[in-house]
Structure 1
Amino acid sequence: MSTSRRLLFLPPPLLAAAIAATSLITAASADALVGDSCSASSGRGGGCGAGLRCTTCVPPPGTGPAACARTTPIDPKTHGQGTSLPFNRYSWLTTHNSFAIVGTKSPLGSAIISPPNQEDSVTSQLKNGVRGLMLDTYDFNNDVWLCHSFNGKCLPFTAYMPALTVLKEVQAFLASNPSEVVTIFLEDYAAPGSLSNVFNAAGLTKYWFPVEQMPGPGGEEWPLLKDMIARNHRLLVFTSKEGKKGTEGLAYQWDYVVENQYGSQGLVDGSCPRRAESKPMDSTAQSLVLMNFFTTNPSQSWACGNNSAPLVSRLSTCYDAAAKRWPNFIAVDFYMRSNGGGAPLAVDVANGRLQCGCDSIAYCSSKSGTCAMPPPPSSSSAAASPSISSSPGPAPAAAPAVGGAAPS
């Protein structure tokens, strides 16, 4: 057995402790950690550490004892090999229907009957480490709106907000965070010219990654992340509608991304079927992989029970389906909901595998591309476990053991 795979087959108690140690990256030692009890009455975060929040996942959400759960993945730019790898060697937390937020009141005054998919604003999502946004765009009310459709049309009771509202949030974030890169996936029902107008109005064109500089077919590498940042090419925009490359500079998603089936149809055990519009999952002509993990009918309770261990386990299934490639984007509903490490843990696992073959980005030694176990989380004075070396890049085997040992 190669050293790059030893971490995957640690005895369950040790592996569980190793995954729990990941939370130490984002939580101060004096604060509660993942799974610890907490109370919203104790102030910011309910006493939980940075990157965590105090929440309940006993059905229905909001009942039962509260515990600390993760909201924020480890920043891969500051761990492992930093920004020195191609863009396609990173994984990013992605929110499905990022705009469909619980409690949104329509600017039109209508009651919104479309089910929500997230619980906080896009600004908050970005602050929590979300770097992929899925937006549904429609021509509506003489503008471009973010909307769910009813019989293929945006209507007052399914329209959440003008697209410009969210795009201005993205612009403000990029302006205030000059080392961050954001990707937008557009489910595009807008007429030609509409989207370029609203992106221009939002002031986002200066961050645009030129579509002509995107890798061609054949699975070519993307530019290094540090070079994208240096050139200010920090906004990638993909559209589901073909033919907008020449007129609006919008990249046709399926030329660059393979994506598994969204919704409940994509959650069949042991399978990771492609989305109908996507090329087959094992097509290497596309250099990026997007993994959907959410039900057809959005459910906070489902997210609570599945955004941790089942999601991490799902990485292995889609890794095998996608020609042994780990996902670059992991898209979920209610990304803050979990009974443990949640979607941030899954992103940490994917980044660990992409960058250095480790089970978490927390174990990637700086610049060396090797794995090193952190000290046991139960004692700050305990000696570190022996280093576990690995070759850089994705390991040749999936990681089923990780899913079973995620915090519960």
Structure 2
Amino acid sequence: MRTPHALLATAVTTTALVAAVVAPAPAAGADAVPPPGTTHYVQSATTGLNAADSAGAVEQHRPRGDEDRQQWTLRVSGASYLLENTDTPGSCLGRAGDLAGTVPCASADAAWEITSAGADRYALGVPGTDRRLTVAPRSAGGDHPARLAVAGGSGNLADWYLTPVTPTTRPMPPQDARTLDQVTFLTSHNAYANGADGGFAPPFVNLFPNQTRGIERQLADGVRGFMLDIHQTPDGAILCHNSCTLVSRPVALWVDLQRMVDFLKAHPDQIVTVFLEDYVDPGVLRAELARVTGLPDVLYRPDRTGVREHGWPAMAELTATGKRLLIFSDHSRSADRAAGLTRDSFGVMYQREWTVENHWSMGSGVGASDWSCYSRWYGAGADIPLTRTEPGFRPLFVMNHFRDTPIADTARTDNAKLADRARRFCQPAARKKPNFLAVDRYDLGDPAAAVAALNTYAYP
């Protein structure tokens, strides 16, 4: 069993899991064009998706590492630049009229003028014109077209990140200096669905628990992030999957929160985060939290401590103040305003305001998996790409790594590949290191090794 401290160790024996180059922090002037010969993802600052060669068309696709012709090597050609596809030497990102396409690198249509657009963004312009590589505007109520365009004008649709395939990272700061957004935590998906603490689903569904150890054991094993589904019943906010109907011995939210608060009281150097898939009225949730003894003593309020303006605090600051429990809800602020009571008024933060999160599923519990890493919250009125940042503030990154159905053998295999997916797919997709690695059956496949590996360096 790993101790809680082992997950935050500054050195591990699994350094082979970390393929990032550790180097000093980049110098000032980071908006200068990267050096020739470096390989990048050409990533939309609006959608977070990558430019990919699709049979000669250049389209925006979900980030897939090196599996989808999405990597481009920067070359110099006179006063211009070329972006050569790594899968097809001699073929460059270029233009076919008003659309983007791959063309021979020797073609005049392959040349780009690359200029800074601020905030580590770039514009890729046609030399001598005002035309730029751009994401086409979305249709009413729809998505942006996949095919990239070349058009006049500027704005976010024409802003791009040149995200390095092999990033320059830096050593993790000392234990007392590292900030919350520099640390990675092991997180249990559907932590309540364990069969050890009580019932969690109707018959048959409860044959597929996401975890097999209770909350207290999860805490002892080093789990520090907990994903919980809450539903409203006459008894309050209850932990159930999809519905509490026909569930035998379900657990109330306050009971599991009390276990976490008691753990934090006994371990003053530890930090815990709770993510609520939230189907209850705000008044019901407030009453449920009021049942937890000692909760106000440990509840951390980023909305009251200047995080939005100055960034996340140091871990040492949180432990010094004793405020070491964060609670997030996936509920919408607008719905709560309509109800007359917002969750953040009693300390539950709206997750979309403070984090980014990739799509929740890699596919069914058997068969092929989808390792692409893209935002759970882009589209349907919530345009939050994984790459979202703000001046002075970087959202925490929740990386989901599980299937539709938790099957033990599949979870074991998936968890053993967690570090590789985090490094090759999700870290460049979000342009930040995952802060929460959420898995099914955390006891299989050693996902704690991936957490430990990520905690050896800071990105960027």
What is the TM-score with the length of structure 2 in the denominator? Answer: 0.55
Match of 1:296 in 2: 404
- Match of 1:210, as an amino acid? R
User: Which of 143, 156, 169 is the equivalent residue of 2:259?
Assistant: 169
- Match of 1:287, as an amino acid? P
Match of 1:261 in 2: 359
- Computing the radius of gyration over CA atoms, which structure comes out larger, 1 or 2? 2
Q: Does 1:74 align with 2:2?
A: no
Match of 1:237 in 2: 327
Match of 1:351 in 2: 455
- Structure 1 residues 316 and 111: CA distance shift in structure 2, 3 A: closer
Q: Does 1:334 align with 2:441?
A: yes
User: Which of 190, 198, 208 is the equivalent residue of 2:288?
Assistant: 198
Structure 1 residue 195: Cα displacement: 1.9
- Structure 1 residues 270 and 210: CA distance shift in structure 2, 3 A: closer
Q: Does 1:321 align with 2:429?
A: yes
Q: Show the 5 A alignment for 1:324-403.
A: 325-338=432-445, 342-354=446-458
Q: Distance in 2 between matches of 1:295 and 1:322?
A: 20
Which deviations, in whole Å up to 9, do the C-alpha atoms of 1:182-217 show, x marking residues without a partner? Answer: 011111111112222222211212101124235555
Q: Distance in 2 between matches of 1:141 and 1:110?
A: 21
Q: Distance in 1 between matches of 2:395 and 2:288?
A: 28
Give the percent of matched residue pairs that are identical in Structure 1 and Structure 2: 27
- Match of 2:271, as an amino acid? V
User: Which of 372, 384, 394 is the equivalent residue of 1:279?
Assistant: 384
Match of 2:87 in 1: none
- Structure 1 residues 159 and 141: CA distance shift in structure 2, 3 A: farther
- Structure 1 residues 278 and 347: CA distance shift in structure 2, 3 A: farther
- For the residue of structure 2 that corresponds to 1:94, the secondary structure is strand
Match of 2:225 in 1: 132
Structure 1 residue 246: Cα displacement: 4.6
Q: Distance in 1 between matches of 2:267 and 2:286?
A: 23
- For the residue of structure 1 that corresponds to 2:216, the secondary structure is helix
Match of 2:177 in 1: 84
Which deviations, in whole Å up to 9, do the C-alpha atoms of 1:95-126 show, x marking residues without a partner? Answer: 00111003554399988737310011111111
- Structure 1 residues 208 and 311: CA distance shift in structure 2, 3 A: same
User: Post-superposition, which runs of at least 4 consecutive aligned residues in structure 1 deviate over 4 A?
Assistant: 69-73, 77-80, 107-112, 214-218, 275-278
- Match of 2:421, as an amino acid? S
Q: Distance in 2 between matches of 1:132 and 1:158?
A: 25
User: Which of 253, 274, 292 is the equivalent residue of 1:184?
Assistant: 274
Match of 2:136 in 1: none
By percentage of residues, which structure has more strand? 2
Could you say which structure has the greater relative contact order, defined with CA pairs below 8 angstroms and 6 or more residues apart? 1
What runs of 5+ residues in structure 1 fail to find an aligned partner? 1-68, 355-408
- For the residue of structure 2 that corresponds to 1:304, the secondary structure is helix
Greater shift in the superposed pair: 181-190 or 105-114 = 105-114
Match of 1:93 in 2: 186
- Match of 1:224, as an amino acid? A
Check conservation: 1:257, 1:278, Cα contact below 8 A. Answer: no
Structure 1 residue 73: Cα displacement: 7.4
- For the residue of structure 2 that corresponds to 1:346, the secondary structure is helix
Check conservation: 2:361, 2:401, Cα contact below 8 A. Answer: yes
What runs of 5+ residues in structure 2 fail to find an aligned partner? 13-173, 334-341
Check conservation: 1:105, 1:112, Cα contact below 8 A. Answer: no
Check conservation: 1:95, 1:332, Cα contact below 8 A. Answer: yes
Q: Distance in 2 between matches of 1:261 and 1:248?
A: 28
Q: Distance in 2 between matches of 1:298 and 1:71?
A: 25
Check conservation: 1:86, 1:225, Cα contact below 8 A. Answer: yes
Check conservation: 1:113, 1:158, Cα contact below 8 A. Answer: no
Check conservation: 2:197, 2:214, Cα contact below 8 A. Answer: no
Aligned length: 278
- Match of 1:350, as an amino acid? L
- For the residue of structure 1 that corresponds to 2:225, the secondary structure is strand
User: Which of 127, 131, 148 is the equivalent residue of 2:241?
Assistant: 148
Structure 1 residue 312: Cα displacement: 3.0
Q: Distance in 2 between matches of 1:108 and 1:317?
A: 33
Which deviations, in whole Å up to 9, do the C-alpha atoms of 1:237-289 show, x marking residues without a partner? Answer: 11111333453221110111000001125952354443455711011134211
Q: Distance in 1 between matches of 2:199 and 2:221?
A: 25
User: Which of 192, 206, 210 is the equivalent residue of 1:117?
Assistant: 210
- For the residue of structure 1 that corresponds to 2:281, the secondary structure is coil
Check conservation: 1:100, 1:160, Cα contact below 8 A. Answer: no
Q: Distance in 1 between matches of 2:232 and 2:314?
A: 36
Q: CA RMSD in A?
A: 3.0
